[in-house]
Amino acid sequence: MDPTRTLVTVWAALIIATAVSVAIHLGLGAGAAAIVAVLVLAFVKVWLVGRHFMELRDAPAILRRLFDGYVVVVPVVLAGILLLS
């Protein structure tokens, strides 16, 4: 895919993910499932921005790993705080 099309596709995915998270919020309301869904959607969006907009896709491995680590560790910690306390 040419770069412009990839970027526009990523943009569309981000918009759709936002719409889905709002729909979940309005539909599901509170609860563990909604919390997990909101976190997963938010950090999938973060990952998409990092990988495609920030061009981490082509970045040195160390940078990619740090970023990927962030995208995994932070939501897990947040889920731990939100669900376990």
Partner 1 sequence: MTGVRTEPDRVIADDGEHMPGEAGIWIFVLGDMVVFAVCFAVLALVHAQDPAGYAVAQDVLHLWLGVVNTVVLVTSSLTMALAVHAARAGRPRRAASLVLATMAGAVVFVAVKAVEYTDLVAAGHTARSSDFFLYYFCFTGLHLLHVVIGLGVLAGVLRIVRRTAPTRHEMGLVESGAGYWHMVDLLWLVLFGLLYTLG
The answer to the question of residue 49 lying near partner 1 (CB under 8 A) is yes
84's CB contacts (< 8 A; 6+ apart) are: none
CB-based contact 39:78 (threshold 8 Å): yes
Residues numbered 21-40 forming contacts with partner 1, rule: CB under 8 A? 21-22, 24-25, 28-31, 34-35, 38-39
Rounded least distance, CB 36 to partner 1, Å: 11
The answer to the question of residue 41 lying near partner 1 (CB under 8 A) is yes
Other Cβ atoms within 10 Å of 38 Cβ, number: 20
Q: Which of 21, 23, 50 is nearest to 36 (CA)?
A: 21
Binding interface with partner 1 (CB under 8 A): 3-4, 7-8, 10-11, 14-15, 18, 21-22, 24-25, 28-31, 34-35, 38-39, 41-43, 45-46, 49-50, 52-56, 58-61, 63, 66-67, 70, 74, 77-78, 81-82, 85
